[in-house]
Structure 1
């Protein structure tokens, strides 16, 4: 297999275009990442095996992409929305209810499929994906108190499960992972205080104007320095870089993300690093192992439907069912579980693919639920 060079980069960028091309078909309504994952499977271990997913350069670029994706996700969590805080109480209550149901389902699935990963399955089914659900909600123009409350629920579940995942994916390192998560959280808190001070005394504004005047992109450079520093801390403490990216995104969002920085981050993430990561992930998966271990197909479907069931119980406390189903969307947490599961052999052959299959089930349900919610809101308006 050839080494990693510009020819490989060109191939990755070309196949990554499968995401936008499929999204451009209105009737399909396929999320971008689905096309990118499928393209990765085609050129990776599942398909023609054209790329070496273990190449250190490829792995590093993919990890940068993952960190940037979670950074952007963190900047989109509406932490500064005052109206969002009014629904935080009910949001936390629903998140706790979902977590309790997911814990029971996790034990049942681990026993049924004989994997011993009950805690991992519980965290997966309890998680929500701000990266998937929030853009769908905003794109459909959904609004009102129930929508604000489900946004808060998604943010709470996403943040909580991102912190919990390193503790359950490898229980033998749970203590070290807990310390690592604590170190990243403390570092993010310090960064927030420092950056807020710079924002209030005018330093940040002066840097922004100087950077714009001279075309230096200083805010982007500083953001990348902070992101890579937190990612290095995460790697050293054996915590997923997902937590580093998400924490920094919350920090930048908390003090206010400038539109210019948002455009720059969107450009480098969605234009190159993000698609490269999802293509790498798809290429790393051995989907053929699902054929050798067909029980894991059932596991993937069960995880997806279990997540929808657990979140759907929000209906019992007054949440509209379409919004409850949308809260079940998964992405970052299953990806973060599948990545070390594939690289470090923490999961059984075929199990990482089952986790991604479960996430795809929830994304499909979220897309359908979004359309139903949109029709319901239009009918109510009429």
Structure 2
């Protein structure tokens, strides 16, 4: 992999903002990057080799950073979330329980034996996708805050459950690895709290800003790579390392300067590189050769919306229930991990992303309906 390939990837990354430039469409930036990767990858002109070791390694770094930023988006310190957390927990739990028989039914219908994976996918939400939609539409009020709590709980639980569900044969090993990564993130949280209480964080921030040292970014990248090394050593995905560290930082309070720096590193280069790589590695032609997986993708998307509608019985407005069904991170992570481990049949990984696209399309409509229902900030 040379500079020419990097230049091509950077140009392809521009397709994301171009497709998402109209706010009213509520199209995630990553969709353009995935589509561009598919055009030049295995499914298209084969200009990119997703098996290149350097490309794969850079994509892994981007994956960890994307999940790190997603973890920082979970509003751990938002005081308005705490009173709503009980209802969010109940609704997320109800959705999770309803997803189990649906996952079993889908695995039986398509004869894949992946009931656990489908249940996790159907029950999942994406805080990194839902929260920007809520902000852009200025949704607000108690029902919206409860929905945010529900999405945060579902996102966190499903990210932890995914490695266990996607490879049941190594579930014990994955569980031990997940506990090790969580323990490492907890130690980072304790260290962060001590750093803030002693005033060292404020002093180092002042020196870094005055001297242009970017200390916060350097320290957090070092911690991220250390947790990623632990995750790799214990045979779990770097996804958990990134998300766990993001939660720890969110619980302490992410400095605005660090948020801007992370945004630049992730959204400017390594995040688009990861999604272009993922699009290039997906064999969309296999969906044509195996049309049953098109049905699987559509069924996963519809099932996710139907299962999340269960929360309507617990008092959640139906547009917000449909909005909570929006998913992207978990299907992308499942497609990435399954492809890397060789666990999927041809066409199965693209089917997971097709299901995510269905939920995103419905979420865009649901957001508009929530505005019409008056679920906006005062």
TM-score strictly above 0.5: yes
Deviations 1:85-140 (A, max 9, x none): 11111111111111111111100000000000000000011111011111111111
1:71 matched to 2:71? no
Out of 177, 184, 191, the residue aligned to residue 174 of structure 2 is: 177
TM-score by length of 1: 0.97
Given that 1:242 and 1:332 are in contact with CA atoms closer than 8 Å, whether structure 2 keeps it comes out as: no
Number of the residue aligned with 2:271 = 274
Classify 1:26/1:252 alpha carbon distance in 2 versus 1 (closer, same or farther; 3 Å): closer
Which of 312, 315, 321 matches 2:318? 321
- Mapping of 1:1-382 within 5 angstroms? 4-25=1-22, 28-377=25-374
Per the TM alignment, residue 378 of structure 1 is displaced from its structure 2 partner at its CA by 6.8
Partners of 2:268 and 2:202 in 1: how far apart? Answer: 27
| SS at structure 2 position matched to 1:82 | coil
- Asked whether the 8 Å contact 2:126–2:326 carries over to 1, the reply is yes
TM-score by length of 2: 0.98
Q: 2: distance between equivalents of 1:363 and 1:373?
A: 15
Q: For the structure 1 residues 272 and 380, does the alpha-carbon distance in structure 2 shift closer, same or farther, using more than 3 Å as the test? A: closer
Give the length in aligned residue pairs: 378
Structure 2: distance between partners of 1:87 and 1:27: 28
Q: Per-residue deviation at 1:27? A: 6.0
Q: Distance in 1 between matches of 2:28 and 2:304?
A: 19
Q: Secondary structure at the match of 2:374?
A: helix
User: Structure 2 CA distance, aligned partners of 1:179 and 1:378?
Assistant: 42
**Separation in 2 of the partners of 1:370 and 1:51?**
36
The runs of 5 or more residues in structure 1 that have no matched partner are none
Do the aligned partners of 2:140 and 2:376 also contact (CA within 8 Å) in 1?
Answer: no
Aligned-residue offset at 1:28: 4.4
Kindly report structure 1 stretches of 4+ aligned residues shifted beyond 6 Å.
378-381
Once residues 368 and 150 of structure 1 are traced to their aligned partners in structure 2, the CA distance between those partners, rounded to angstroms, is: 16
**TM-fit CA distance, 1:170:** 0.7
The unaligned stretches of length 5 or more in structure 2 are none
| Paired residues of 1:88 and 1:153 also in contact (CA < 8 A) | yes
Q: Name the CA distance, whole Å, in 1 between partners of 2:211 and 2:329.
A: 36
- The 8 Å contact of residues 139 and 377 in structure 2, kept in 1 or not, is answered as no
RMSD: 1.3
With 149-158 and 326-335 compared, the bigger mean Cα shift is at: 326-335
